[in-house]
């Protein structure tokens, strides 16, 4: 069976990665999100196993030792990581998988998964980014400043990504990501084995699924 596509959606805190991913998942049933593990405490309304796997620092560090993460990073004082076997299973079953992760994590994934699609989500402006982080209401003035300063540094890594999408309107950003998925699925290096294997003509569903 054809392997699924790995879609890495990344960008600074407040750019709107989470909102975009939610909208994408609502719109398309061919995409699956990988549930990350974290040591941060759940926010109001967050459910263990749905939003994150909420772990203690000890359990997380045990999993690091056992090489259970595709990538992990320390983000604003807490660990976040992508469970390796979950992602591998989904990809091997032909599912397209979204990772919604920070920039450090995305760069680590890129070292191992070159055929992933790396999309950088940009805010429309730095002022808007600041306002979005304030509006979340979950940050202290110190953590707000930390996230805001990091965003300035993080934007320098955009050249490591394949695509940049400005999140000025969520629906438009989602449309752009869908266009990227379509484009990527037409790339010859993704489908050439299928084409060369096909002896009885090309059946398009088989090519692009
Ligand atoms: P939050 O605490 O706001 O849910 O997430 C903080 C940051 O951690 C966000 O930028 C989010 O994308 C990132 N993040 C969430 N899960 C992971 C993960 O598994 N790995 C990495 N590297 N970052 C993650």
pLDDT digit string (tens) for 169-181? 999 999 999 999 9
Residue 201 counted as an annotated binding residue: no
> How far away, in angstroms, is 97 Cα from ligand 1 center?
16
- pLDDT, tens digit, 9 for 90 and up, residues 146-155: 888 889 899 9
Whether residue 127 is contained in a domain is answered as yes
- pLDDT, tens digit, 9 for 90 and up, residues 87-97: 999 999 989 99
Range with the poorest average pLDDT among 42-51, 63-72, 183-192: 183-192
Whether residue 133 is contained in a domain is answered as yes
For residues 127-142, average pLDDT: 85
Can you read off the two tokens belonging to residue 126?
Answer: 């730095």
Instruction: Indicate whether 206 pLDDT > 60.
Output: no
Range with the poorest average pLDDT among 9-18, 56-65, 128-137, 154-163: 128-137
Whether residue 107 is contained in a domain is answered as yes
Whether residue 13 is contained in a domain is answered as yes
Q: 206 or 56: which carries more pLDDT confidence?
A: 56
Q: What is the pLDDT of residue 1?
A: 52
Rounded distance, CA 130 to CA 144, Å? 8
Whether residue 17 is contained in a domain is answered as yes
Instruction: Indicate whether 201 pLDDT > 70.
Output: no
CA 105 to ligand 1: nearest atom: 22
For residues 182-197, average pLDDT: 84
Whether residue 67 is contained in a domain is answered as no
Q: In what order do the strands lie in the sheet containing 31-33?
A: 31-33, 96-100, 6-10, 117-122, 163-166
Can you read off the two tokens belonging to residue 54?
Answer: 């909420």
Whether residue 53 is contained in a domain is answered as no
Q: Report the CATH number that the domain containing residue 186 is assigned in CATH.
A: 3.40.50.300
Rounded distance, CA 102 to CA 62, Å? 22
Structural domain boundaries, residue 119: 6-34+95-207
Rounded distance, CA 43 to CA 136, Å? 11
Residue 11 counted as an annotated binding residue: yes
pLDDT over 70, % of the chain: 93
Whether residue 164 is contained in a domain is answered as yes
At 135, the pLDDT band (50, 70, 90 cuts) reads: confident
Instruction: Indicate whether 202 pLDDT > 70.
Output: no
Residue 15 counted as an annotated binding residue: yes
Q: 200 or 8: which carries more pLDDT confidence?
A: 8
The tally of domains found in the chain comes to: 1
> How far away, in angstroms, is 101 Cα from ligand 1 center?
5
């Amino acid at each position: 069976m054809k392997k699924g596509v790995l879609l890495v959606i990344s960008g600074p805190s407040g750019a709107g990665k989470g909102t975009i991913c939610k909208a994408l998942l609502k719109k398309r049933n061919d995409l699956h999100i990988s549930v990350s593990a974290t040591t941060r405490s759940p926010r109001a309304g967050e459910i263990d196993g749905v939003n994150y796997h909420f772990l203690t620092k000890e359990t997380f560090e045990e999993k690091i030792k056992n090489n259970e993460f595709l990538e992990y990073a320390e983000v604003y004082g807490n660990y976040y990581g992508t469970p390796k076997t979950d992602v591998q299973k989904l990809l091997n079953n032909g599912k397209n998988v979204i990772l919604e992760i920070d920039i450090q994590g995305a760069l680590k994934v890129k070292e191992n998964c070159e055929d992933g699609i790396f999309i950088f989500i940009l805010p429309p402006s730095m002022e808007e980014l600041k306002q979005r982080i304030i509006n979340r209401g979950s940050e202290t003035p110190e953590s707000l400043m930390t996230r805001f300063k990091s965003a300035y540094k993080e934007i320098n890594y955009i050249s490591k990504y394949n695509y940049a999408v400005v999140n000025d309107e969520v629906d438009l950003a989602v449309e752009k990501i869908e266009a990227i998925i379509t484009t990527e699925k037409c790339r010859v290096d993704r489908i050439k084995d299928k084409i060369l294997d096909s002896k009885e003509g090309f059946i398009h569903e088989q090519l692009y699924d």
